[in-house]
């Protein structure tokens, strides 16, 4: 049977995530004919089971906490009555609004984009076969192909897990309808701690289990320990340095984890289990064996600093290429490719800043080097750590938990900052701007800043500078 003729485009983008979607807009607006192939919901992980839905739920949890603690500011309020169905319903509405907005932009606002709903697979370096959602197939070809297929929740091989009815961050945000009575979370990185505090504030009992001896183990210990203390004070049970051996589900639906902990074997009982041990790339079914695209040992696509794969004209953007998995990094991937293809400007991924925020309360904002990273690189530094309780705005609002830590190099310029306090992400970003402008710390100390604002911490953050140990 002869092969179906291929529909020809100037560019094909596989995956409507936070790198692929704006790239489709830019290419189409420049007069290119673009095919956008997506097998699932538009928007990638950010809109569907990442940033947007989690932060919508976090907003509800934080509002409940504010009501619960209003008495500290002289406002008497009853214990908040959490309508979990309404909380979940609001999250779904906001997510659907984002999906609908994306659909309009792709199909109506930008001429030149053809949206194809289906699963793409390479049959040759620049040819794809798409298994359409509505049935049948479509052949596509283009000189430029951009892989933006993202990741999915990693699930470990563990006795009894497959039959336990476990949740991942993906499935929880798509399918959960009832409030868990007791949520056990496997994994103590940013997903685990955000979900842990969020569900605890919504009224769920929470236990976090991790193999590492502390939460957020990539952070310096004196950064992660205050976060642990914050969660523990809120009533989150932490079982750290523990290996899960098996999972079982009883006839009544309850879940038991058998773990090897510091004090010996323990059995943890809960109503729901969230597996949050990392992500893995969506590369297995792309047919990359028909191309020169190479994968690393973890299945991520190997690219150079310009996001080019081993096949000329084929790029990988966003989480599927490995490295830090953040929406803002994926969006910068788009800018790198856009500028190279449309504006003749070459910029790479090397040495770009990697800011991130853990949206607990207080937030943890991080930019630049940590103390341990500076030591590993042999970079001399001075460090100042300012307790949040010394910030005027923190005292006025009652948000006194945490600290602001800054690292300064021999040239008096910032090397990095860790900000664990109210508005931590916003304060961190101000330090990032100072780093981008190569300002010396004395310029921040002497800058006139509005009083009383959180920004005033830039005046005071360096007053305790001392040599790094």
Give the 3-state secondary structure of residue 202: coil
Cα 308 to Cα 302: distance, rounded to the nearest angstrom: 8
In this structure, what token pair is assigned to residue 241? Answer: 């340095």
- Out of 43-52, 112-121, 433-442, pick the least confident: 43-52
Residue 186 burial by CB count (10 A; 0-12/13-18/19+): exposed, middle or buried?
A: buried
pLDDT score recorded for residue 3:
57
Give the span between the Cα atoms of 65 and 51, in whole angstroms: 20
CA distance 203 to 367: 33
pLDDT in tens, 61-119: 999 999 999 999 999 999 999 999 999 999 999 999 999 999 999 999 999 999 999 99
Q: Which two tokens stand for residue 78?
A: 């009853």
Sorted by where each starts, the structural domains of the chain and their CATH numbers stand as 7-152+280-342 (3.50.50.60), 167-277 (3.50.50.60), 362-467 (3.30.390.30)
Which pLDDT band holds residue 263 (cuts at 50, 70, 90)?
Answer: confident
Q: 258-262, 300-304, 309-313, 379-383 — which is least confidently predicted? A: 258-262
Based on its alpha-carbon atoms, the radius of gyration of the chain, rounded to whole angstroms, reads: 24
Range 172-177 contact pairs with CB under 8 angstroms and sequence separation of 24 or more: 172/49, 172/274, 173/48, 173/49, 173/53, 173/54, 173/57, 173/91, 174/48, 174/49, 176/88, 177/85, 177/88
**Strands 205-210, 237-240: pairing kind:** parallel
Length of the chain: 469
User: Vertex 127, ends 331 and 4: CA angle to 5°?
Assistant: 135
- DSSP string of 258-275, one letter each residue: EEEETTEEEEEEESEEEE
Answer for the pair 199, 180: CB distance below 8 angstroms, yes or no. Answer: yes
Question: Over the stretch 403-439, which tens digit does the pLDDT of each residue have?
Answer: 999 999 999 999 999 999 999 999 999 999 999 999 9
Residue-wise pLDDT tens digits, 20-34: 999 999 999 999 999
- Number of Cβ within 10 Å of residue 409's Cβ equals 17
Mean pLDDT of the chain: 95
**pLDDT tens per residue across span 178-212:** 999 999 999 999 999 999 999 999 999 999 999 99
**C-alpha closest to that of 130 among 25, 23, 35, 11:** 35
Residue 118: exposure state from Cβ atoms within 10 A (0-12, 13-18, ≥19): buried
C-alpha–C-alpha distance, residues 227 and 178, integer Å: 28
Residue whose pair of structure tokens reads 């190569």 in the numeric block: 438
Q: In percent, how much of the chain has pLDDT > 70?
A: 99
With tokens 């839905």, the residue in question is 53
Find residue 145's DSSP bridge partners: 12, 314
pLDDT at 2 over 70: no
- Does residue 135 register a pLDDT over 50? yes
Q: What is the pLDDT of residues 321-375, one digit of tens each?
A: 999 899 999 999 999 999 999 999 999 999 899 999 999 999 999 999 999 999 9
Indicate which residues carry an active-site annotation. 451
**pLDDT band at residue 37 using 50, 70 and 90 as cut-offs:** very high
* CA angle centred on 26, ends 22 and 32, rounded to 5°: 130
Going by pLDDT thresholds of 50, 70 and 90, the confidence category of residue 469 is confident
Q: What is the pLDDT of residue 6?
A: 77
1 pLDDT tier (thresholds 50, 70, 90): very low
Token pair for 305: 């600093």
Distance CA 310, CA 304 (A): 9
Enter the tokens of residue 90. Answer: 């609001």
pLDDT above 90 coverage of the chain, percent: 95
Q: Quick one: CA torsion of 210, 212, 213, 219, rounded to 10 degrees?
A: -110
Asked if residues 387 and 372 have their Cβ atoms less than 8 Å apart, the reply is no
Q: How confident is the model at residue 262 (pLDDT cuts 50, 70, 90)?
A: confident
pLDDT on residue 4: 62
* Distance from C-alpha of 158 to C-alpha of 174, rounded to nearest angstrom: 24
CA distance 62 to 59: 5
Contact 316, 334 (CB under 8 A): no
């Amino acid at each position: 049977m002869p092969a179906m003729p291929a529909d020809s485009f100037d560019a094909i983008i596989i995956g409507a995530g936070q790198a692929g979607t704006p790239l489709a807009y830019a290419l189409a607006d420049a007069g290119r004919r673009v095919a956008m192939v997506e097998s699932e919901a538009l928007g990638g992980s950010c809109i569907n089971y990442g940033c947007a839905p989690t932060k919508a739920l976090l907003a509800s949890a934080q509002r409940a906490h504010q009501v619960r603690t209003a008495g500290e500011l002289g406002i008497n309020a009853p214990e908040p009555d959490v309508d979990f169905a309404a909380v979940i319903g609001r999250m779904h509405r906001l997510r659907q609004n984002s999906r609908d907005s994306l659909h309009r932009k792709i199909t109506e606002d930008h001429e030149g984009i053809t949206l194809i709903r289906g699963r793409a697979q390479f049959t040759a370096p620049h040819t794809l076969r798409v298994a359409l959602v509505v049935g049948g197939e479509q052949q596509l070809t283009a000189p430029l192909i951009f892989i933006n297929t993202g990741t999915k929740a990693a699930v470990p091989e563990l006795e009894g897990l497959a039959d336990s009815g476990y949740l991942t961050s993906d499935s929880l945000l798509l399918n959960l309808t009832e409030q868990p009575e007791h949520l056990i979370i496997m994994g103590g990185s940013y997903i685990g701690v955000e979900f842990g505090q969020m569900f605890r504030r919504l009224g769920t009992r929470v236990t976090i289990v991790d193999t590492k001896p502390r939460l957020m183990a990539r952070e310096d210990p004196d950064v992660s320990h205050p976060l642990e203390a914050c969660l523990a004070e809120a009533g989150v049970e932490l079982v750290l340095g523990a290996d899960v051996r098996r999972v079982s589900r009883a006839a009544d639906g309850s879940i038991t984890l058998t773990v090897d902990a510091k004090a010996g074997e323990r059995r943890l009982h809960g109503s729901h289990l969230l597996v949050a041990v990392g992500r893995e790339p969506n590369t297995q079914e792309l047919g990359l064996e028909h191309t020169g695209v190479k994968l690393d040992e973890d299945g991520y696509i190997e690219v150079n600093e310009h996001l080019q794969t081993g096949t000329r004209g084929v790029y990988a953007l966003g989480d599927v290429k490995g490295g830090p998995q953040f929406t803002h990094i994926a969006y910068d991937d788009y800018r790198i490719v856009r500028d190279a293809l449309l504006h003749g400007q070459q910029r790479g991924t090397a040495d770009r800043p990697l800011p991130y925020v853990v949206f607990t309360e207080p937030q943890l904002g991080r930019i630049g080097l940590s103390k341990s990273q500076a030591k590993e690189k042999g970079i001399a530094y001075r460090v100042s750590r300012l307790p949040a309780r010394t910030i005027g705005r923190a005292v006025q609002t009652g948000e006194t938990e945490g600290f602001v830590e800054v690292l300064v190099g021999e040239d008096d310029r910032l090397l990095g900052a860790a900000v664990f306090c109210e508005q931590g992400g916003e304060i961190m970003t101000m330090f990032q701007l100072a780093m981008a402008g190569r300002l010396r710390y004395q310029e921040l100390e002497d800058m006139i800043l509005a009083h009383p604002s959180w920004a005033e911490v830039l005046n005071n953050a360096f007053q305790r500078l001392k040599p790094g140990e």
